[in-house]
Amino acid sequence: MTQSANRNRVLSGMQPTNTLHLGNYLGALKNWVRMQDAMECLYCVVDMHAITQDVGYAHAESLTAATRGVTAAYIAAGIDPKKSPIFNQSQVPEHAELAWIFNCVARVGWLDRMTQFKEKSGKHKERASVGLYTYPVLMAADILVYKATHVPVGEDQKQHLELARDIAQKFNNDFSVPDFFPLPEPVITGPATRVMSLRDGTKKMSKSDESDFSRINLTDDADTIAQKIRKARTDPAPLPTSKKEMEGRPEAENLINIFAGLSGHSIEQVMADYGGQSFSAFKNALSELAVATLSPLAAEMRRLTGDPAEIDNILRAGAEKARAIAGPIVAEVKRNVGFVA
Ligand code: TRP
């Protein structure tokens, strides 16, 4: 077995967006922070994925700001760039190089099955960018360019992870290098990996929801957070005391999940503490907890984004460390493919 196959390495990434919300924090960042102590981790801001839908001069400026903003969020949430390289994808050209080779390994039939492309391209898939179509191939390259073994992602990314495994497997077979790429595993952890909309407990909390009251943004101030929680949709019954009582009550489940995620308590513990009480009492406690957790995070994000040059330095340093890992792997891939160096 090659050294690559038994060594654990975490890679994850998030698209740069100007509206990071509680779902991004509880569902992703909090887990990424935790994983730093257990494994070698790399965290990427996937700016190349961010041009698959919108592209052009108007988008360019907001992309730059969003890349810095998301980098600030990574750091404010507790990712230590000295321990875990933080970098933007476009500064590590090996991602794009490997993606091209993977475009030639992956089959059209595999990509045709991707449900996220169907959702994002909508009715007129012929008008979607080619980049949106091969998005999952670039994602496979993001992961495998480091031979990462573990990928913390949300449920909605599991199909893309399966594709990454299929690509890794086919590469290993086609080039007769059995253990060259590991088959990366999704890591889906934590009680609140799926944070739902505050307006509709059956829909994911999302930056694209029309109503700002559906989500808590990481940049919201204390009053806004409190107001959004106060107005969050609930049902008339008191807080459930058991999982059984929670069934069919998505809004109650969501608020309890959020409390658990923010406090670090289990869902059972939260139900033991608040079950049977009215939502208004629970919402007060939740809003205090949310403000106490998110206010320092927002303040740190503001401080960091106030010095863009410093953020850019962090990204450059991260990219350099990332390239030190990715470079030799891509060189070996190119040898396997038969490219003359
Ligand atoms: N597609 C992921 C998402 O929307 C983002 C992403 C791109 C990613 N490349 C990645 C996540 C590599 C994990 C690993 O959430």
Give the Cα separation of 43 and 29 in Å (integer): 10
Task: Tell me, yes or no, whether 152 lies in a domain.
Answer: no
Domain assignment of residue 275, given as a range: 212-302
Atom of ligand 1 at shortest range from CA of 148: 14
Residue 196: which residues within 8 A CB-CB, separation 6 or more?
202, 203, 204, 205, 250, 251, 254, 257
Contact of 181 with 330, CB cutoff 8 Å? no
Contact of 83 with 127, CB cutoff 8 Å? no
SS3 216: coil
How many domains does one find in the chain?
A: 1
Q: How far is CA 19 from CA 73, 97, 218, 330, in A?
A: 11, 30, 8, 34
CATH number of the CATH domain containing 244: 1.10.240.10
pLDDT at 2: 45
CB of 137 sitting under 6 A from ligand 1:
no
Residue nearest atom 6 of ligand 1, based on CA coordinates: 13
Task: Tell me, yes or no, whether 50 lies in a domain.
Answer: no
Name the pTM for this structure: 0.94
Contact of 288 with 223, CB cutoff 8 Å? no
Atom of ligand 1 at shortest range from CA of 136: 1
Q: What is the CA radius of gyration of the chain?
A: 21
pLDDT at 19: 87
CB of 141 sitting under 6 A from ligand 1:
no
Strand partners, 151: 186
Task: Tell me, yes or no, whether 248 lies in a domain.
Answer: yes
For 194-197, the CB contacts below 8 A with 24+ separation are: 194/23, 194/27, 194/154, 194/155, 194/257, 195/21, 195/22, 195/23, 195/26, 195/27, 195/254, 195/257, 195/258, 195/261, 196/250, 196/251, 196/254, 196/257, 197/254
The candidate with the shortest Cα–Cα distance to 135, out of 102, 168, 109, is 102
Residue 125: which residues within 8 A CB-CB, separation 6 or more?
117, 118
pLDDT at 154: 86
Give the Cα separation of 282 and 159 in Å (integer): 36
CB of 253 sitting under 6 A from ligand 1:
no
Task: Tell me, yes or no, whether 279 lies in a domain.
Answer: yes
Atom of ligand 1 at shortest range from CA of 15: 5
Atom of ligand 1 at shortest range from CA of 46: 7
CB of 143 sitting under 6 A from ligand 1:
yes
Task: Tell me, yes or no, whether 317 lies in a domain.
Answer: no
Tokens of 337: 């493919």
Q: What is the largest CA-CA distance in the chain?
A: 70
Element (H, E) at 19: none
Burial of 49 (0-12, 13-18, 19+ CB in 10 A): buried
pLDDT tens digit at each of 341 positions of the chain: 444 445 899 999 999 998 899 999 999 999 999 999 999 999 999 999 999 999 999 999 999 999 999 999 999 999 999 999 999 999 999 999 999 999 999 999 999 999 999 999 999 999 999 999 999 999 999 999 999 999 999 888 999 999 999 999 999 999 999 999 999 999 987 555 689 999 999 999 999 899 999 999 999 999 999 999 999 999 999 999 999 999 999 999 999 999 999 999 999 999 999 999 999 999 999 999 999 999 999 999 999 999 999 999 999 999 999 999 999 999 999 999 999 99
pLDDT at 155: 86
Residue nearest atom 11 of ligand 1, based on CA coordinates: 13
Distance 12 CA to ligand 1 centre (A): 6
CB of 30 sitting under 6 A from ligand 1:
no
Residue nearest atom 15 of ligand 1, based on CA coordinates: 14
Is the four-CA dihedral 156, 239, 237, 244 of positive or negative sign?
Answer: positive
Task: Tell me, yes or no, whether 218 lies in a domain.
Answer: yes
Task: Tell me, yes or no, whether 223 lies in a domain.
Answer: yes
Task: Tell me, yes or no, whether 244 lies in a domain.
Answer: yes
Distance 133 CA to ligand 1 centre (A): 14
CB of 132 sitting under 6 A from ligand 1:
no
Instruction: Look at strands 86-88 and 185-187 and give their pairing.
Output: unpaired
Q: How far is CA 336 from CA 27, 94, 224, 333, 341, in A?
A: 38, 16, 55, 5, 11
